[in-house]
A = this chain, B = another copy of it.
Amino acid sequence: MTSSADSPPAANVTMTPADARAAFRGGRVVPTAGYCAGFAQANLLAVPADYAFEMLLFAQRNPKSCPVLGVLEAGAVSSELLAGGDIRTDIPRYRIYHDGDLTAEPTDVLSEWREDLVSFLIGCSFTFEAALLTNDVPVAHIEQDVNVPMYRTSVPTVPAGRFSGPLVVSMRPIPADRVADAVRITARYPSVHGAPVHIGEPGALGIADLGQPDFGDPVEIAPDSIPVFWACGVTPQAAVMASGTPLAIAHAPGYMLITDARDAAYQIP
């Protein structure tokens, strides 16, 4: 329901990361699941330099939800993860937080940018979805053409300085006879959230209704499937909201940075 009519899935899948970033820079606004198969997608969180140590420490202490793929130091807007790109324009949709409150969801952040912003690129579970599909494990939100559902949980993160807040998870319903495969396959990608943090029993995570995600869209869950939860790179956004950081710039959940890094680079033997 969110993909544009002029970008058929097949073309998205085979697009290069540079071409995808150019398309988003040029105005295409879609969730990025299924784009550029084989290339790693990343969450963005940019905070003022005064908060940078605490955010990097928060990531170090919560590695399942915040695996750091790269850091753009204060003033930098590009890196080898987005060669020739610009972190301020190359994501389809952003979120701006002032004092912890979501204030805007623009498609670029050129007018909000400050020279003291440090940008953290954090692994995204979209990265391992190609591996699930290659192994014929279905990915419901891609099949249903919606954004992945994400939920705030009742599980606290490990605080770091001024940052704390709940673990955020993404959910994929997996056929019961493929759940073990999904664990095995995603465990090979510890840098992009790795194995699930929780399988079944959403109530135990404090999730009252799977049909009402906190971020993204609900998905239909087939009768033979159970909900499987992975740590999500939106977790640091929840920490920003909880901590009231004066300014933070993030991607809109599901609308990721597509990097030049290959998924395979994050796969362990």
> CB distance B56 to A187 under 8 Å?
no
Q: Which of B52, B187, B268 contacts A53 (CB 8 A)?
A: B52
List the B residue with the shortest CB-CB distance to A52: B53
List the B residue with the shortest CB-CB distance to A49: B53
> CB distance A60 to B68 under 8 Å?
yes
Per the CB 8 Å criterion, the residue count for chain A at the interface is 17
Q: List residues of chain B with CB within 8 A of the CB of A73.
A: 57, 160-161
List the B residue with the shortest CB-CB distance to A51: B53
Chain A 49-64 near chain B by CB (<8 Å), digits 1 or 0: 1001100110011000
Q: List residues of chain B with CB within 8 A of the CB of A118.
A: 53
Q: List residues of chain B with CB within 8 A of the CB of A52.
A: 53
Residue A228 lies at the interface, judged by CB distance under 8 Å to chain B: no
CA distance in complex: A190, B188 (Å): 13
CA distance in complex: A53, B120 (Å): 13
Residue A150 lies at the interface, judged by CB distance under 8 Å to chain B: no
Chain A 65-94 near chain B by CB (<8 Å), digits 1 or 0: 000100101000000000000000000000
CA distance in complex: A56, B190 (Å): 20
CA distance in complex: A64, B99 (Å): 37
CA distance in complex: A73, B57 (Å): 9
Residue A269 lies at the interface, judged by CB distance under 8 Å to chain B: yes
A221 to chain B, nearest CB (A): 29
Q: List residues of chain B with CB within 8 A of the CB of A49.
A: 53
A182 to chain B, nearest CB (A): 15
CA distance in complex: A53, B71 (Å): 11
Q: List residues of chain B with CB within 8 A of the CB of A61.
A: 71
Q: List residues of chain B with CB within 8 A of the CB of A56.
A: 53, 56-57, 60
List the B residue with the shortest CB-CB distance to A195: B269
A161 to chain B, nearest CB (A): 7
Binding site for B on A (CB under 8 A): 49, 52-53, 56-57, 60-61, 68, 71, 73, 118, 160-161, 187, 190, 268-269
19 contacts between A and B (CB under 8 A): A49-B53, A52-B53, A53-B53, A53-B56, A53-B118, A56-B56, A56-B57, A56-B60, A57-B71, A57-B73, A60-B60, A60-B68, A60-B71, A61-B71, A73-B160, A73-B161, A187-B269, A190-B268, A268-B268
**Besides A56-B60, A60-B68, 15 other A-B contacts (C-beta < 8 A):** A49-B53, A52-B53, A53-B53, A53-B56, A53-B118, A56-B56, A56-B57, A57-B71, A57-B73, A60-B60, A73-B160, A73-B161, A187-B269, A190-B268, A268-B268
